[in-house]
Amino acid sequence: MKRVQRQQSRKSFRVWMVIIILLALFEAALHLFGFAGIDDFMGALLDGNLAAGAVAPGPTEGTLEVHVLDVGQGDCILIRGSDKTILVDASVSDAAPGILSYLRKLGVDGIDILINTHPHNDHFGGMRAVMDGMPTARVLLAPIPEELTPTTVSFEKLVTYLGKHQIPTAEARVGDTYDLGGGGVLTIVGPQKTYDDLNNSSLVCRVDFGRHSFLLTGDMEAKAEKDLLASGVPLRADVLKVGHHGSNTSSSRDFLKAVDPDYAVISCGADNDYGHPHDEVLERLRSRGIPIYRTDLDGAAVFVTDGDQLSVSTAK
Ligand SMILES: [Zn+2]
Tell me: the pLDDT tens digits for 96-128? Answer: 999 999 999 999 999 999 999 999 999 999 999
Give residue 57's pLDDT band: very low, low, confident or very high (50, 70, 90).
confident
Residue 126 CA to ligand 1 center (angstroms) comes to 13
**What digits encode the pLDDT tens for the residues 145-162?**
999 999 999 999 999 999
User: What single DSSP character describes residue 217?
Assistant: -
Residue 130, pLDDT above cutoff 90? yes
pLDDT one-digit tens code per residue, 204-238: 999 999 999 999 999 999 999 999 999 999 999 99
| pLDDT confidence tier of residue 10, bands split at 50, 70 and 90 | low
The span from the CA of 306 to the CA of 133, in Å, is: 30
Q: Where are the domains of the chain?
A: 2-47, 64-315
In total, the chain counts a number of residues equal to 316
Check residue 214 and give its pLDDT. 98
Query: Amino acid identity, residue 213?
Result: S
Rounded to the nearest angstrom, the distance between the alpha carbon of 120 and the centre of ligand 1 is 7
DSSP 275: -
Is the separation of the CB atoms in 202 and 193 below 8 Å? no
For the chain, give the mean pLDDT: 89
Give me ligand 1 centre to Cα 248, in Å: 13
CA distance 141 to 118: 7
**What spacing in Å lies between the alpha carbon of 245 and ligand 1's midpoint?**
6
Q: How far is the CA of 119 from the centre of ligand 1 (A)?
A: 9
Among residues 236, 217, 240, 208, the alpha carbon closest in space to that of 305 is found at 208
Sign of CA dihedral 215, 219, 220, 222: positive
Stretch 305-312: mean pLDDT, rounded? Answer: 97
In this prediction, residue 21 carries a pLDDT of 57
Superfamily of domain 64-315: Ribonuclease Z/Hydroxyacylglutathione hydrolase-like (3.60.15.10)
Average pLDDT for residues 288-313, to the nearest whole number? 98
What is the DSSP-derived secondary structure letter of residue 315? E
Instruction: Provide the pLDDT for residue 39.
Output: 46
Q: How far is ligand 1, taken at its centre, from the CA of residue 117, in Å? A: 9
